Amino acid sequence: MFIFFTIFRYTDYYIFLKWTMGKKRSYQQYCSIARALDIVGERWTLLIVRDLLGGPRRYKDLQESLDGIGSNLLAARLKDLESAGLIESIKQPPPSSVKSYQLTARGRALEPTVAALAHWGLELLAAPRQKDHWQPQWNHVALKARFNPQEAAGLSATYAFEIGGYPHYAVVKDGALANFEGTAPNPDLLLKASDEDFLRVVEGELNLKEAIQSGLISVEGSGESLLRMAKVFTPKHS
């Protein structure tokens, strides 16, 4: 009898969960904020957008990045974003030729909003909590969040990073910032570090100068470029 009711209870919960994921909720308000939140306000949705701002991602990549999301829920969120015209599925060029997801122009238009939210959240970040994890692919948004356009005024520079083996770079041009995946051509500065050591520097646990002197972080470029980069990515809090 206990087994019967246990099976019934979990079957009933599974049906409810499927119904909940498939049911589209709305604030039913004639307000652009409410309309936007109808599309991107669900749990995990903006984090999917954050990941895709770095470039196309496979389903597996998103699952690994979004630790804690169920496969069914991820599939539902991707379906909703695709229906809203914010993402599209593509086939990566050979030799991989695997299905991936990328932002549409409409989806990429969310970048300033996501970066502004990330900037606002900087003051909420203390040391990582026990179950927190971090990925260098999130640097695309983190660099935008930390970018100080006043310090970048009149500057033209390329800053490259290789964090945990993941290459990406930032191009700064007269107060504007653009981020890219891959290896930068002729960067003014190249910074290499493990995931752990880079995060320790960012959170203030490890001093950058000491990390470089101890060999935990390697830098190719002038001391002047390093100092300027540090200023450019020191956020100005309002």
State pLDDT tens for residues 3-26. 544 444 555 545 444 545 556 789
Does the structure show a pLDDT above 60 at 232?
yes
All structural domains of the chain with their residue ranges: 2-117, 137-232
State pLDDT tens for residues 94-128. 777 789 999 999 999 999 999 999 999 999 987 77
Mention the CATH class of domain 137-232: alpha beta
What is the value of pTM for the model shown? 0.86
Residues 6+ apart with CB under 8 A from 228: 151, 155, 157
The residue whose two tokens read 């196309």 is 56
Q: What angle do CA 208, 210, 211 make, to 5 degrees?
A: 60
Measured in whole angstroms, the distance separating CA 19 from the mean position of its chain's CA atoms is: 29
Q: Does domain 2-117 have CATH number 1.10.10.10?
A: yes
Sign of the CA dihedral running 91, 165, 71, 55 = negative
Share of residues in the chain with pLDDT > 70 (%): 89
Q: Where are the beta strands (DSSP E) in the chain?
A: 57-58, 87-91, 99-103, 156-163, 166-173, 176-181, 189-193, 217-221
**What angle, rounded to 10 degrees, do the helices at 111-121 and 139-146 form?**
70
State pLDDT tens for residues 87-100. 999 998 877 778 99
pLDDT for 96 equals: 72
The verdict on whether omega for the bond into residue 56 sits within 30 degrees of 0, i.e. cis, is: no
